[in-house]
Structures are given as structure tokens and as C-alpha cells.
Amino acid sequence: MNRYKFLSDNNTEESIFEFLHSEKYDVVKIREIDREKTDLEIIKLGISERRFIVTDDKEFLNYFNQGHKTFGIIFFKVVDTKSKNQKEYYIRKISVLKGVLEKIKLIENKLLFVEFNFLTDKIILKYIEQ
């Protein structure tokens, strides 16, 4: 079992959960705990259990920017998914996540903003401290 733990937000694709699970990470789906948890409750759970939140939900950015403390958030912003098929989209997203996991120590108490564009194949990683 890898030492890092994750919360997979309600809107995170199943393929991301499956990848983390297959890599022996301790990952929990929020929808299996309580579908009705608010984003702030998810943030508090992440802190109490020392879990990184994996999400595509922009609301987490708002809370982070408002100064809410987190254990760490990995936020995906995907640009132009229409140009590729769904399978390629998921494969590429998991490939980016693999690269992120190699640098995960840098994410604690930060927001990692991951943006990738399928047209240009460009990946932008931004580490933002609270």
C-alpha cells in the first residue's frame, strides 16, 4: 500500500479511482461515504484523514482561494476534450496523474492545478500555496 491517501470527489471519473486503486493507493470515493457531503465537509474530511482531494470541481478552487485550509487538492482542468475520443481522454488524464504522483510530496498543504490541452498536448502544472 502506498503511503499517500486520496478522496475521489463525486465528479471524478471512475477511471481515476480505478487507476489509484490499482496502484495500491488508499483511495476513497466520496459517493460511497455520503453523496450529500458538501465541499467544505469533504475538505475537513481530507484534513482529518490526511487525504488529497482529486477533483474537477471548480468550487474547490473557490474555497482554496478564500483561505480554507486543505491537506491538498489535485484539480484537473481539461481543455478541448471534443478533439479526442473518450478512451484517449482517460488514458491521457491518467498519464498526467502518474506524473503528478511522482511529485506528490510537493502538494501537501497546496493546490495543484493541472491543465492539459488535447489539441496542443500541452500540460501546465501550478503549485499554489495557501
- Determine the average pLDDT of the residues in 53-58: 88
| Helical spans, DSSP H, in the chain | 14-22, 30-33, 39-49, 59-65, 86-101
User: What's 97-116 look like in SS3?
Assistant: HHHHHCCHHHHCCEEEEEEE
CA 16, 17, 18, 20 torsion-angle sign: positive
Cell numbers placing 36: 450529500
Report how far Cα 99 is from the mean position of its chain's Cα atoms: 13
Report how far Cα 65 is from the mean position of its chain's Cα atoms: 16
Q: Which of 46, 43, 3, 41 is nearest to 28 (CA)?
A: 46
Mean pLDDT for the chain overall: 81
- Determine the average pLDDT of the residues in 23-36: 90
Please tell me the pTM assigned to this model.
0.80
Residue ranges of domains in the chain: 5-129
Q: pLDDT tens digit string along 67-122?
A: 888 888 888 776 665 555 667 777 777 887 887 777 776 676 676 777 666 666 67
Determine the pLDDT at residue 77: 76
